[in-house]
Amino acid sequence: MTRQNNPTTQALKREIANARDPHIVRIVAMVDAMATRGPADDLIAPLRGRLATLRPPRPLRFCRLLFHPLDRLIVPAPRWGPDRDSIPRTALTPIAEHVRRAMGTDAAAIDVQIANRTTADTDLIARCGAVLWPAAARAVLAGPVPETWEGTGFSRTAYAPLAASIAALLGQGTAVEALAGATANGLLPPDGTRIAAILAAVAEAHVPALPMMIAILLARVPQSAVILPVANTGPTGVAVRAAMDRAADRLLADLDEQDGTRASIAAGSLGDAGTAAGRIAALLRQLDDDTASPQRQVRLREIRKKLDADCKARFTAGLEQELLLPLNGSAPPAVAVLEAAARGLRILETEARKVGSGGTYDMLLKKAALAIGASPVLGRLAKVDQVRLVEILAGPDAAMSLLA
């Protein structure tokens, strides 16, 4: 009998698949902490979909830290190709092992610093990344094809150009972190001089990596789109403009795929979905300027429609499953969880209105507020909790009317 067919394993899998969210986060944390995961990976396999939604912080490993600046470029191996401006997931471990060997004790020192820390520790990522990324850029360029490259499923000739791109991008990892940090979470406009310097450095290191760097910049700091066309007027200006076009097309192609926008909107909490919707909407706005070709404008319209539909679907499901069901369920409702759901719904709705009509949201929010304000709910919620939920969903005036 194989492990997969073992009735005990099957029963355990079923139990895990039906576990509540906090338990799932704990189970995954335990599996993440195992030195050798083996069968445990099979057990959490059915959770991958829900993990994408929960997005718990993951342990900060050497490989995860190394590719942190390039995270948005990583794709499953079957979707990778030399001209796809991306990095195949199967290449990460061989390259990380190669970098680790080349860095020797410096790599061990980083391991010590990140031990038992998670991806939520952004300060540590920036600090350790400042040491790791430039060193890794040099190591990737200098070394031969990694010994374990065969495991990637790609030919040895695929390594050199990919390594050159990765090295060029990692070389600017710290600069991109600094650029994003300097905007103070988008409160300040990005610094054009810094952007120009990053692009010039990438162009000098490996021109084919430019579209990937631009994709990183657009995803990380969407306001860069305004600055990018004028950021580089030097000898690499033509290459930068061409790369920008290519990067924009690549980003739009990713969003235009079957589950392009849905994957972003379905992931994380409702608030995360709202943030993702806002980021995509901002990116679409930035790419929809006077210079956009008619084909691009058509594509932008299509993506907006998809985004609008995905937002409405997530909102409707979220309202039902994360707010109304717990509110009316048999267990006592957890007020903090309900408030988080209500807040997430409003964040999603506010961002979604930027790409679509608001009528559906108005109607659903009004219905939810009425349901919460109705007297049967009062037996399950304290008056003040009822008031606060209505305030989040329908605004202070509706909430004050409950107190009148």
Partner 1 sequence: MKTSALPLTEFHHPATFQSRGVAVPFTTPLLAGARVRVGSKNAPELVIPNPSGGRGVYIMQWSGVRALCNPGVHDTMLFRRLTGLDRIDPVSLRQAALGIALQGFAGIEAAAAAALTQTADRARGLRAHFQLLTALLNQIDPASRNGPVSIERTAEFDRRASAMLNRIAPGFGCTAMHLAAGLDTLGDAFAPVGIVVDERESRIPRLLAKLDDTRTHIAFWLGAGPDNDIGGLGRTVANAMAVTHTLARTLLTAARTALADPSGLLKHWVANPLETAALATRCDWVLDGWERICLLWQRAADDANRRAALLEMAQVLPVMPREVTEWTDRPIPEAMMDPAPGVISQNDDWRRGAAGFTLIQRNEALRAMSE
Query: Could you give the CA distance from residue 318 to residue 324 in angstroms, rounded to a whole number?
Result: 9
Angle at 34 (CA atoms; ends 29, 35), nearest 5 degrees: 145
Closest approach, Cβ 233 to partner 1, in A, equals 24
Instruction: Tell how strand 87-88 and strand 74-75 pair up.
Output: parallel
- Considering only 112, 184, 331, 404, the residue that binds partner 1 (CB under 8 A) is 184
Query: Could you give the CA distance from residue 259 to residue 148 in angstroms, rounded to a whole number?
Result: 32
Binding characters for partner 1, 269-298, by CB under 8 A (x = yes): --x--xx--x--------------------
- In the bound state with partner 1, the residue whose beta carbon lies nearer, of 180 and 218, is 180
**Residues near partner 1 (CB under 8 A), total:** 39
- In the bound state with partner 1, the residue whose beta carbon lies nearer, of 122 and 233, is 122
Number of CB atoms found within 10 A of residue 394's CB: 21
Angle at 167 (CA atoms; ends 102, 197), nearest 5 degrees: 130
CB contact set of 70 (below 8 Å; sequence gap of 6+):
87, 166, 169, 170, 173, 212, 216
Q: Which of residues 115-154 bind partner 1 (CB under 8 A)?
A: 122-123, 126
Closest CA to 190 of 210, 165, 220, 211: 220
- Considering only 5, 8, 185, 295, the residue that binds partner 1 (CB under 8 A) is 185
- Considering only 236, 306, 346, 368, the residue that binds partner 1 (CB under 8 A) is 346
What the block records as the tokens of 373 is 């304000």
Counting contacts by CB under 8 A, is residue 223 touching partner 1? no
Closest approach, Cβ 231 to partner 1, in A, equals 18
Counting contacts by CB under 8 A, is residue 267 touching partner 1? no
- Considering only 59, 134, 143, 186, the residue that binds partner 1 (CB under 8 A) is 186
DSSP for 300-315, please give it: HHHHHHHHHHHHHHHH
DSSP for 282-295, please give it: HHHHHH-STT--HH
Closest CA to 67 of 146, 137, 159, 121: 137
Closest approach, Cβ 315 to partner 1, in A, equals 13
Contact 311, 277 (CB under 8 A): yes
Number of CB atoms found within 10 A of residue 388's CB: 18
Closest approach, Cβ 258 to partner 1, in A, equals 27
Query: Could you give the CA distance from residue 359 to residue 364 in angstroms, rounded to a whole number?
Result: 9
Binding characters for partner 1, 50-89, by CB under 8 A (x = yes): ----------------------------------------
Counting contacts by CB under 8 A, is residue 403 touching partner 1? yes
- In the bound state with partner 1, the residue whose beta carbon lies nearer, of 96 and 217, is 217
- In the bound state with partner 1, the residue whose beta carbon lies nearer, of 211 and 278, is 278
CB contact set of 67 (below 8 Å; sequence gap of 6+):
74, 87, 92, 96
Counting contacts by CB under 8 A, is residue 183 touching partner 1? yes
Alpha helices in 257-358 (DSSP H): 260-266, 270-287, 294-318, 325-328, 335-352
- Considering only 290, 336, 376, 379, the residue that binds partner 1 (CB under 8 A) is 336
Counting contacts by CB under 8 A, is residue 337 touching partner 1? no
Closest CA to 292 of 234, 257, 244: 244
- Considering only 202, 387, 389, 394, the residue that binds partner 1 (CB under 8 A) is 387
- Considering only 243, 388, 389, 394, the residue that binds partner 1 (CB under 8 A) is 388
Counting contacts by CB under 8 A, is residue 351 touching partner 1? yes
Counting contacts by CB under 8 A, is residue 327 touching partner 1? no
- In the bound state with partner 1, the residue whose beta carbon lies nearer, of 322 and 385, is 385
Closest approach, Cβ 293 to partner 1, in A, equals 30
Closest approach, Cβ 340 to partner 1, in A, equals 8
* Bridge partners, 59 (sequence order): 118
Using CB under 8 A as the criterion, which residues of the chain lie in contact with partner 1 when the complex forms? 122-123, 126, 178, 180-189, 271, 274-275, 278, 335-336, 339, 343, 346-347, 350-351, 382, 384-385, 387-388, 391-392, 395-397, 399-400, 403
